[in-house]
Amino acid sequence: MVYKILLIGEPGVGKTQILQKFGSGEFTTSYLPTIGVDLQTYYLSRLSTDVNFIEIGGTSINDFFNFPPVIEGVDLVIFVCDHFTIQSSQLFSYLKMKIQEKNLRRVSFLIIRNKIDLVPFTCDELENITQYSLIHQLTFLPITSKDEGCIDCLESFIFQIMEKSGLKTENTYSCLETIHEDALF
């Protein structure tokens, strides 16, 4: 079984860096914007499955819907931002609604607040993202794509979402045992 994960967010928030960290374990500081769709398939050994990570590049909300085959059949949508604003919440709400319309099965959603090492949380931002996550029943994960522990934590979240969706893998419980508590914030 191949699990399909869609990464979406504004340009420059670190979607490509997250994918590179999953694939090669490398982090680069260079920035090259993604044009169109980027598909990377990785075998995640702790999950015992292939995962298709699909990143959609673009600068407007409508760019996300120019690729219907990519959006359809997705298992998990990861919204990536580097600062959670009112505009972010409006964008995520709109995209969530549109993605749910395009999928017959249940889609899981995750918000990643990336670059916590470069752009620290403000009290207002933390309050806004916490309230938004609770109201919309979304999981929220603050990370920095530079840190291997954060990527391990993200992999653990993906695993937990797979399990809740009924997409269990052979080594269902071994993944959680390998995640260290200090990787969580």
Which tens digits make up the pLDDT trace of 101-154?
888 778 889 999 999 888 888 899 989 988 998 898 888 888 888 887 888 888
Residue 178 pLDDT: 32
pLDDT in tens, 51-85: 888 777 665 556 666 666 777 788 888 899 998 98
Mean pLDDT lowest among 68-77, 89-98, 105-114, 164-173: 164-173
Residue 25 pLDDT: 72
Size (the chain), residues: 185
176 pLDDT more than 50: no
Residue 46 pLDDT: 65
Domain count, the chain: 1
Residue 59 pLDDT: 54
CB atoms within 10 A of CB 55: 22
Handedness of CA 78, 82, 87, 89 (dihedral sign): positive
4 pLDDT more than 50: yes
* pLDDT-based confidence at residue 180 (cuts at 50, 70, 90): very low
CA distance 97 to 102: 9
The DSSP string of 45-96 is TTTTEEEEEEEE--SSGGGGGS-HHHHTT-SEEEEEESS--HHHHHHHHHHH
- Do residues 76 and 54 touch, judged by C-beta distance below 8 A? no
Q: Taking residues 79-104, what's their average pLDDT?
A: 87
Q: Single out the residue of 58, 10, 28 nearest to residue 145, CA to CA.
A: 28
- Do residues 153 and 141 touch, judged by C-beta distance below 8 A? yes
Residue 40 pLDDT: 78
State how beta strands 37-44 and 49-56 pair: antiparallel
Q: Comparing 185 with 6, which gets the higher pLDDT?
A: 6
pLDDT in tens, 23-33: 777 777 777 77
Inter-CA distances, 73 with 68, 102, 145, 146, 161, Å: 10, 8, 26, 30, 16
39 pLDDT more than 70: yes
Pair of tokens at residue 70:
């990519």
CA distance 142 to 144: 7
Q: Single out the residue of 18, 36, 163, 151 nearest to residue 79, CA to CA.
A: 18
* Residue 86, domain CATH: 3.40.50.300
Domain that holds residue 170: 2-183
The whole model's pTM is what? Answer: 0.80
DSSP 180: -
